Chain A
Amino acid sequence: MIDFIRRSGRSGLDFCAAVGRASIFLLRAIVGLSLSGKGLKLLARQIYRVGVLSLIIIIVSGLFIGMVLGLQGYSILVDYGSEQAVGQMVALTLVRELGPVVTALLFAGRAGSALTAEIGLMKATEQLSSMEMMGVDPLKRVIAPRFWAGFISMPILAAIFSMVGIFGGMLISVDWLGVYDGAFWSNMQKAVEFNNDVINGMIKAVVFGWVCTWIAVFQGYDLVPTSEGISAATTKTVVYSSLSVLGLDFLLTAVMFGGI
């Protein structure tokens, strides 16, 4: 019994310490970005690796999710003779929910795990400590550009995802199933409001990008520097990111659309 209390106390303290470390780490990473020429080059390189290389998976899955939404929406709505509403259904679903959420899940799997593994390997091979030896702050040189790259890339990827998804929905419902395209677009434009739907979706994407990158970079920086540690940290990154994205999505939706 005593042993149980001792162990739970220890893990509670460990958890608090990890949250504290992660917060200090986040703060130093945010302010650590240098906007000089060299810093911007590093940032561009990370945006390339985190954002541009994720583009293919985002575009392909956006296209298919939009097409599935078009198909499902049509088959449900055609029963009520209101298949013109498929445009507003596809657009609202993508812009409000699926765009930010699915992008964040894919982003965590595609870019987050890579960030964790890369930083973890740097730590395991003592590249980070040798940087410190040379008087280079690894938080500024390695972490800050990666953090900001994820933070910048995520909303862009979510916007592209929604755009491609709506295009995919149009492809199916208008070109294949024969919904009148004027009604498709005008219903969509009537239903989607820029301030409420598009901006709120982008706010979600920004929050998710922040959380996913924070978890990925911190897990890499804080892992046990062994091969097992790297694999455990990579798994943790994907699991924690996915769970916090889905949980946060509920909270944000409740605040934005729940009318609280």
Chain B
Amino acid sequence: MYQRSMELVVGVFILLGALAMVFLALQVSGLSLDSQRATYKVYAQFDDLGGLNVRGRVSLAGVTIGRVNNVSLDKESYSALVELEIYTEVDNLSTDSVASIQTSGLLGDKYIAISVGADEEYLADGDTIFDTQSALNLEKLIGAFASGQADF
């Protein structure tokens, strides 16, 4: 009887550990089980990334529709080439959409905001967004303002 109740307690202990792991995974780190969503790749070129990181958010109207998969330098045009992964259920982004780098809050992370254009054709896998706006560089802005060259 003693042996049996002890085994029971040990079983409860192990299950408690498993529960703690599940809690850490789901509630604390927000691991969602559908993180492996199907995506398609879209490219965009920017003059200045201004701190945009890999795994940054891609959002449309504030809703996350994908993520930044890779950032590299385009050697011919000396600009940054960003590879975006967009969820396949968002398949109606027009080809003249605008991608701009924005900041969440004043000091928050950089993310890419997409605003949709009016074209009837939609972006497909491997397409490039031509109309882009670089990150707002706060230091350049202040510098321009301080030297009286601001043109806004």
* A interface list, Cβ under 8 A from B: 41, 44-45, 47-48, 51-52, 55, 91, 95, 152-153, 155-157, 159-160, 162-163, 166, 185-186, 188-190, 192-194, 197-198, 202
Q: Interface-forming stretch among B12-20, B80-88, B121-129, B135-143?
A: B12-20
In the complex, the answer to whether A189 meets B9 with C-beta atoms within 8 Å is: no
- The answer to whether residues A192 and B13 also contact, given A95-B24, A159-B20 and a CB cut-off of 8 A, is no
Q: How far is the CB of B106 from chain A (nearest CB, A)?
A: 11
User: Can you list, as one digit per residue, whether each of B10-51 has a CB less than 8 Å from chain A (1) or not (0)?
Assistant: 100110110111011101111100000000000000000000
The contact of A52 among B3, B9, B21, B24, by CB within 8 Å, is B9
In the complex, the answer to whether A160 meets B6 with C-beta atoms within 8 Å is: no
In the complex, the answer to whether B24 meets A156 with C-beta atoms within 8 Å is: no
Q: How far is the CB of A182 from chain B (nearest CB, A)?
A: 13
Those of B59-100 within 8 Å (CB) of chain A? none
Q: Is B131 an interface residue (CB 8 A)?
A: no
In the complex, the answer to whether B29 meets A159 with C-beta atoms within 8 Å is: no
CA distance A190 to B31 in the complex (A): 10
The contact of B30 among A51, A55, A156, A190, by CB within 8 Å, is A190
Q: How far is the CB of B13 from chain A (nearest CB, A)?
A: 5
In the complex, the answer to whether A159 meets B31 with C-beta atoms within 8 Å is: no
Most chain B CB inside 10 Å of its own CB: which residue of A91, A155, A163, A190:
A163
- The answer to whether residues A47 and B10 also contact, given A156-B17, A160-B16, A162-B24 and a CB cut-off of 8 A, is yes
The contact of A159 among B6, B17, B27, B30, by CB within 8 Å, is B17
- The answer to whether residues A45 and B29 also contact, given A156-B14, A159-B24 and a CB cut-off of 8 A, is no
CA distance A66 to B100 in the complex (A): 40
Q: How far is the CB of B64 from chain A (nearest CB, A)?
A: 11
CA distance A41 to B4 in the complex (A): 10
- Note all chain B residues with C-beta closer than 8 A to A157: 17
Most chain A CB inside 10 Å of its own CB: which residue of B7, B16, B24, B25:
B24
* B interface list, Cβ under 8 A from A: 3, 6-7, 9-10, 13-14, 16-17, 19-21, 23-25, 27-31
| CB-CB nearest in chain A for B109 | A190
CA distance A192 to B17 in the complex (A): 19
The contact of B29 among A153, A160, A193, by CB within 8 Å, is A193
Q: How far is the CB of A56 from chain B (nearest CB, A)?
A: 12
Q: Can you spell out 5 A-B residue pairs with CB atoms less than 8 angstroms apart?
A: A41-B3, A95-B24, A156-B17, A189-B27, A192-B29
- Note all chain A residues with C-beta closer than 8 A to B14: 47, 152, 156
- The answer to whether residues A189 and B29 also contact, given A41-B3, A55-B13 and a CB cut-off of 8 A, is yes
CA distance A186 to B27 in the complex (A): 9
- Note all chain A residues with C-beta closer than 8 A to B20: 156, 159-160, 162-163
In the complex, the answer to whether B17 meets A44 with C-beta atoms within 8 Å is: no
Most chain A CB inside 10 Å of its own CB: which residue of B7, B14, B20:
B20
The contact of A45 among B6, B16, B21, B23, by CB within 8 Å, is B6
Most chain B CB inside 10 Å of its own CB: which residue of A159, A166, A198:
A159
Q: How far is the CB of A71 from chain B (nearest CB, A)?
A: 19
- The answer to whether residues A198 and B16 also contact, given A44-B7, A52-B9 and a CB cut-off of 8 A, is no
